Structure 1
Amino acid sequence: MRGRARALPAHGEPPPPRRFHAWSTLTPVASMPVIWLTFKIMTRVSSAWSIRWFRYVWGAGALSGLGAEIGELALPSLALITLGATAAEASWVRAAMLAPFLLVTLWFGVIVDRRARRPLMIAADLVRGSVLVLVCLLGLTGRLTVPLLVAATAVLGTMTVLYQLSDFSFLPRIVPERYLVDANAKVAATQSAIQIAGSGVGGALVQALTAPVAVVVNALGYLLSALLIGRVRLAEPRPDTPERRSALAEARTGLRTLVRHRILRTLATEAALWNLGNEVFMLALAVHMLDRSAAGPVVLGLIVTCGGVGAFLGSVSSTWLTGHFGYGRSLLASLVIGNTAPLLGVTVAALVPAWAVPALSAAFLLSGAGCGVANSQATSIRQIAVPEEVRGRANAGYRLASWGALSIGALLGGAFTTLLGTVAAEAAGAALMALATLPVALSSVRHVRTIEEVAHRPEPRVPVMDTVSPRE
């Protein structure tokens, strides 16, 4: 994945929580066909699926992802319904979840490069599961408060950053380079299906069993994920760190590697511009739809769900497209289609209001499909384009750049929506998303046929000849 926001579904690295929960309008029954189709596609014997350890890691990601999607609805419901939190207090819960993505990403990148990744993933899952169990117990006994929930979500967000960075660097250890696109496509497709189904399941659990009990299901997903990761019996050598420097110096090395690498720099620029525009676009669209009629939440949910379906279809076709058309051409084509579709949808909706819902639904379907293809491809190339010993730090820098654009986009979205109105703000955000394709279109990435062409290869060591004459 490219490290994009998930309003239009994205990438094999699961991102921070969504701003809106419109998908909760789907029922679990309606989601069952998606889950069944995902399982059938994922379990076909293919290049990546034939690797036993990948199946464990994929299963762990699916379980923790489904739990997180349930938590997306359960935690806000816990704050607003169980604790009676105000809107301002609920915003602190969300801010506590997102803040670690800006505050600790670079430093965790250093830790990931210094240590074995599998124990870090297990520890992150165990901490997240334990914290959620504690939150449930406090909620059921009436001892949970908003400050305690804010602290708990801050821990959850922090451990999520650690897990995602570790997972990104761990996958290339268990999957050969030639299978990475297939592996990341399977991960991205599964995450897209989970996005479609998870919130519906979460809504049903909150409705039927109350929010604290739904939180336990979230915790169970993390604990089962830790169990599966623990079953991966892979010798993971300690990273090669011949000289230990300060964490700040090592973080700078990761940023420098990102900036100097022409392809990673291009992908990071594209992702940051897309996130910036997407945040503006989604905020304005949500305000527009929710103010439009009483059915606004349902309509918004259906539109966004089309993005999830598109992302699923794009993810499962990514490997085939890459094999037939090459990495660069399929990436560029998916970006042109996916990044431009929202602007076309907004334009049609503004010119012919009666077609607004069909136009936006089609735009989200196409944009989701483009994201599904591009995210699995971009993730694969990011995993092998830099030396393993700096992979975690380079990815941390990438994510900081791409996700840092979200906070700026949130501010711009509010300002644009207030000053220009919802339609103009939607158009401005969609235009930024379309412009995000330019860095890739103008770069050499479009000429890459296979990701192996840009894979980092360690320089061969030249033997040092003894120039001193032997003693007589």
Structure 2
Amino acid sequence: MSEANCLSIEKGSLWRDRNFMCLWMGQSVSEMGSSITNIILPLLAITTLSATPGEIGLLRAMASIAVLLASIPSGVYIDRFNKRSLMIVCDFVRAAILVTVPLFAFYDQLSMYWLYAVSFLCSVFSVAFGIAYHSYYPIFVPRKDLPEANSKIETTESAARVGGPGIGTFMAGWIGAPLTLLFDVVSYIASAVLLSFTKTDESSKVKVTKRPPLLQEIGEGFKLLYANSVLARTAMTTIGSMFCLAMMNAVFLYYLISDLKLSPQMVGIVFFIGEGGGLLAAILASALMRSVGSAKIMWWVVFLSPAGFLLGGAQSHPLLLPTLYLCLTSVRFVLFDIAQYSYRQSSCPLESLGKVTASIRTCIGIAAASGAIFGGWLGSIVSPVASIFIATVLMCVSSLPVVFSALRHTRDIEDLPALTHVDR
């Protein structure tokens, strides 16, 4: 889209953009279902299959391993094919995979091995969906409106993280954990239907060039990612932070249930209120980015990284401190992600955005898989809270590339350099 056209689109026009609204509504429904699944799968493993911290860590790691294995090929091929059609296929496939869990549970055939398989397979198609999704809407959303679009998307993702655990634990107590997963099955189908109403000519918006061999395209994604200092530094902090977050997530639920002796309902309250911080941050993100600066906000929020140390007093305050930890951590990740998504989408050529996104997701997959396995192992060897403390120290270290970057002196992402090409 030309700069003139971008400037002609008035503020708030995304509410009247049918393509964006259908895409956003589909994502909102799907995210709520996925958030319920994210809490129900480990809850099912702990309460029904008596899973250990190591097994929960491995269950979470399966999703990260899928990210690692699927990101690069997905990113390369997504840039070649119709993104909308691919997302619809991914929705239907994920629904078909997930519906097997209540079926297997009904026939008393459910096992940790099958939960590992479901987590892995659903994540493979979620990777393809996510890369296509984040490469699709920049085609029809003007560059200046990308922060607003990402803020709206992150708002619903945060709302799902807030509501999902509470709704999931309530439904699990009412109809049982396996049947609760049917909500996610329905959400995937609803997402596919809503996506079918989006209409945009992808080929006319994306510059078509002769495609080099697969390995060369993979290399191009990494070259683009590290072609400028700010993009590289935000990527390094993102990847390092995800390793630490995966360490924490591997043992946090187990810590709440086994060490702090919280009931599933109390766990739901911790997640509902704690993730509410992320929801509030997402709602206020556009205003905060206008006030503080869409680039500067990335620099400020990394100073929330030490939040994990709050759990040192959780035995005395088993609801307050875990909730506060989760709240501050959610705010930190939500605001950082909105800003870094916006910069990446506005700085990368549309025809290469899928490859760059895939490159980051591959690195995140490596970090998250190893973090989940290491966190689960460490939680079994020492204790869950010790694992979280170590992860907190590492998260502070991973923030240093951003702390000592040009973001410290730059207000908005428009003031940062954009990438136009990469030498092959």
For the aligned pair, the TM-score class normalised by the smaller chain equals 0.7 to 0.9
d(CA) in 2 for partners of 1:361, 1:75: 21
Task: Tell me: CA distance 1:75–1:178, structure 2 relative to 1, closer, same or farther (3 Å).
Answer: same
Matched, 1:224 2:224: no
d(CA) in 2 for partners of 1:319, 1:138: 44
Matched, 1:63 2:18: no
Q: Is the 8 A contact 1:129 1:218 kept in 2?
A: yes
SS in 2 for 1:115: coil
1:237 counterpart residue number: 203
Matched, 1:155 2:117: no
d(CA) in 2 for partners of 1:135, 1:422: 28
Task: Tell me: CA distance 1:317–1:400, structure 2 relative to 1, closer, same or farther (3 Å).
Answer: same
1:390 counterpart residue number: 352
Q: Is the 8 A contact 1:165 1:396 kept in 2?
A: yes
Q: Is the 8 A contact 2:62 2:116 kept in 1?
A: yes
TM-score by length of 2: 0.83
d(CA) in 1 for partners of 2:255, 2:114: 34
Matched, 1:99 2:65: yes
Matched, 1:433 2:395: yes
Identity percentage of aligned residues: 25
Gaps in structure 1 of 5+ consecutive residues: 1-44, 460-472
CA apart distance, 1:422: 5.0
SS in 1 for 2:226: helix
CA apart distance, 1:165: 0.4
1:453 counterpart residue number: 415
Q: How does 1:372-391 map to 2 (within 5 A)?
A: 372-391=334-353
2:88 counterpart residue number: 122
Residues 230-262 of structure 1 show CA distances to partners (whole Å, capped at 9, x for unaligned) of 101111117545323222221121112112232
Letter matched to residue 72 of structure 2: L
Matched, 1:112 2:112: no
Task: Tell me: CA distance 1:110–1:272, structure 2 relative to 1, closer, same or farther (3 Å).
Answer: same
d(CA) in 2 for partners of 1:276, 1:356: 25
d(CA) in 2 for partners of 1:357, 1:198: 18
CA apart distance, 1:167: 0.4
CA apart distance, 1:306: 3.9
Q: Is the 8 A contact 2:57 2:373 kept in 1?
A: no
d(CA) in 1 for partners of 2:105, 2:251: 35
Q: Is the 8 A contact 2:162 2:272 kept in 1?
A: yes
Q: Is the 8 A contact 2:162 2:271 kept in 1?
A: no
Task: Tell me: CA distance 1:115–1:265, structure 2 relative to 1, closer, same or farther (3 Å).
Answer: same
Task: Tell me: CA distance 1:422–1:208, structure 2 relative to 1, closer, same or farther (3 Å).
Answer: closer
Deviates more, 1:247-256 or 1:270-279: 270-279
2:8 counterpart residue number: none
Matched, 1:370 2:337: no
Q: Is the 8 A contact 1:384 1:455 kept in 2?
A: no
Q: Is the 8 A contact 1:386 1:455 kept in 2?
A: no
CA apart distance, 1:264: 1.9
d(CA) in 1 for partners of 2:389, 2:51: 32
d(CA) in 2 for partners of 1:266, 1:452: 17
Q: Is the 8 A contact 2:166 2:268 kept in 1?
A: no
Letter matched to residue 456 of structure 1: A
SS in 2 for 1:70: helix
d(CA) in 2 for partners of 1:329, 1:95: 32
Task: Tell me: CA distance 1:126–1:364, structure 2 relative to 1, closer, same or farther (3 Å).
Answer: closer
d(CA) in 1 for partners of 2:413, 2:83: 23
Letter matched to residue 376 of structure 1: I
d(CA) in 2 for partners of 1:72, 1:357: 21
Q: How many residues align?
A: 408
User: Which one has the largest radius of gyration?
Assistant: 1
SS in 2 for 1:188: helix
Q: How does 1:257-406 map to 2 (within 5 A)?
A: 257-283=224-250, 289-295=256-262, 301-336=268-303, 338-343=304-309, 345-346=310-311, 349=313, 354=316, 358-406=320-368
d(CA) in 1 for partners of 2:293, 2:216: 37
d(CA) in 1 for partners of 2:279, 2:245: 19
Task: Tell me: CA distance 1:215–1:297, structure 2 relative to 1, closer, same or farther (3 Å).
Answer: closer
CA apart distance, 1:184: 0.9
CA apart distance, 1:193: 1.3
Letter matched to residue 50 of structure 1: R
Q: Is the 8 A contact 1:97 1:153 kept in 2?
A: yes
Q: Is the 8 A contact 2:299 2:403 kept in 1?
A: yes
Task: Tell me: CA distance 1:266–1:145, structure 2 relative to 1, closer, same or farther (3 Å).
Answer: same
Letter matched to residue 58 of structure 1: W
Q: Is the 8 A contact 1:177 1:452 kept in 2?
A: no
d(CA) in 2 for partners of 1:381, 1:105: 20
SS in 1 for 2:202: coil
Deviates more, 1:365-374 or 1:172-181: 365-374
Task: Tell me: CA distance 1:376–1:95, structure 2 relative to 1, closer, same or farther (3 Å).
Answer: closer
Residues 178-233 of structure 1 show CA distances to partners (whole Å, capped at 9, x for unaligned) of 11111111111111111121233233334433455433322111111011111011
Task: Tell me: CA distance 1:181–1:370, structure 2 relative to 1, closer, same or farther (3 Å).
Answer: same
d(CA) in 2 for partners of 1:429, 1:134: 34
Task: Tell me: CA distance 1:121–1:150, structure 2 relative to 1, closer, same or farther (3 Å).
Answer: same
d(CA) in 1 for partners of 2:50, 2:301: 42
d(CA) in 1 for partners of 2:267, 2:116: 28
Task: Tell me: CA distance 1:382–1:219, structure 2 relative to 1, closer, same or farther (3 Å).
Answer: same
1:444 counterpart residue number: 406
CA RMSD of aligned residues (A): 3.3
2:164 aligned to 198, 205, 213, which one? Answer: 198
d(CA) in 2 for partners of 1:175, 1:256: 25
d(CA) in 1 for partners of 2:259, 2:50: 27
TM-score by length of 1: 0.76
d(CA) in 2 for partners of 1:355, 1:294: 12
Letter matched to residue 113 of structure 1: D
